[in-house]
């Protein structure tokens, strides 16, 4: 039986020399890989009490929506600036090379709701930290963060210390 790591394609020296790019498209392109990813991630949070699943554009949608569906929970979108039609809250944050803005609808999280944040990966933790701040700005309580892949060598876990982080696959390097 294949493990989840077996479905991840590694591309050396992309996007630059010395980087081992972990490509999850091969996970999603294989029905067994996709099922294993969703099932593994969902199993990691079976003991977690939460009301809402939140996922960031776009790969957070891929993994968060089926988990929300399977557990009969609402799914809330976090999108890039200017993509949501109703009143939003936003946060600017730093990327490795530049800045970005994330938004979510102002009425998407109710004060006191327990939130599970789902994404494809955590690397440096900047995007994850921004999502946490957005949820908390609406009065939500982050019950946990769930990712398919963690690049442990980039220390994203340290950036969100104090929050539960579950990852289906961990790579020690960058």
Question: Does 82 fall in a domain?
Answer: yes
Q: Which structure tokens are listed for 59? A: 């790969």
Structure confidence at residue 74 (pLDDT): 98
As for how many domains the chain has, the answer is 1
Question: Does 16 fall in a domain?
Answer: no
Rounded Cα distance between 71 and 86, Å, is 26
Question: Does 22 fall in a domain?
Answer: no
The DSSP result for the chain, as a single string, is ---GGGG-EEEET-SSTT-EEEE-HHHHTSHHHHHHHHHHHHHHTTT---SEEEEETTHHHHHHHHHHHHTT--EEEEEETT--SS-EEEEEEEETTEEEEEEEETTSS-TT-EEEEEEEEESSSHHHHHHHHHHHHTT-EEEEEEEEEEEGGG-HHHHTTTS-EEEEEEES--
The CATH number covering residue 81 comes to 3.40.50.2020
Structure confidence at residue 64 (pLDDT): 98
Residue segments in the chain with a per-residue pLDDT below the cut of 50: none
Which residue is catalytic, options 22, 59, 79, 157?
59
Which residue is catalytic, options 17, 87, 96, 172?
96
Question: Does 136 fall in a domain?
Answer: yes
Q: Which structure tokens are listed for 35? A: 């099922």
Q: Per residue in 34-76, pLDDT tens? A: 999 999 999 999 999 999 999 999 999 999 999 999 999 999 9
Question: Does 19 fall in a domain?
Answer: no
Residue 103 designated active-site? no
Strands 88-95 and 75-80: unpaired
Question: Does 59 fall in a domain?
Answer: yes
The residue range of the domain holding 60 is 47-171
Question: Does 6 fall in a domain?
Answer: no
């Amino acid at each position: 039986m294949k493990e989840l790591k077996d479905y991840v394609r590694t591309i050396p020296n992309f996007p630059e020399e010395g980087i081992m790019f972990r490509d999850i498209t091969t996970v999603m392109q294989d029905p067994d890989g996709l099922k294993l990813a969703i099932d593994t991630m969902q199993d990691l949070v079976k003991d977690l009490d939460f009301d809402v699943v939140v996922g960031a554009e776009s790969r957070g949608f891929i993994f968060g929506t089926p988990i929300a569906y399977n557990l009969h929970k609402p799914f809330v979108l976090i999108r890039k600036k200017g993509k949501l039609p109703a009143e939003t809250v936003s946060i600017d944050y730093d990327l490795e090379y530049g800045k970005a803005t994330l938004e979510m609808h102002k009425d998407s999280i109710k004060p006191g709701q327990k939130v599970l944040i789902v994404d494809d990966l955590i690397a440096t933790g900047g995007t994850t930290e921004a999502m946490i701040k957005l949820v908390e700005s609406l009065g939500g309580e982050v019950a946990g963060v769930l990712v398919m892949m963690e690049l442990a060598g980039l220390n994203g876990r340290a950036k969100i210390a104090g929050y539960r982080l579950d990852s289906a696959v961990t790579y020690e390097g960058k």
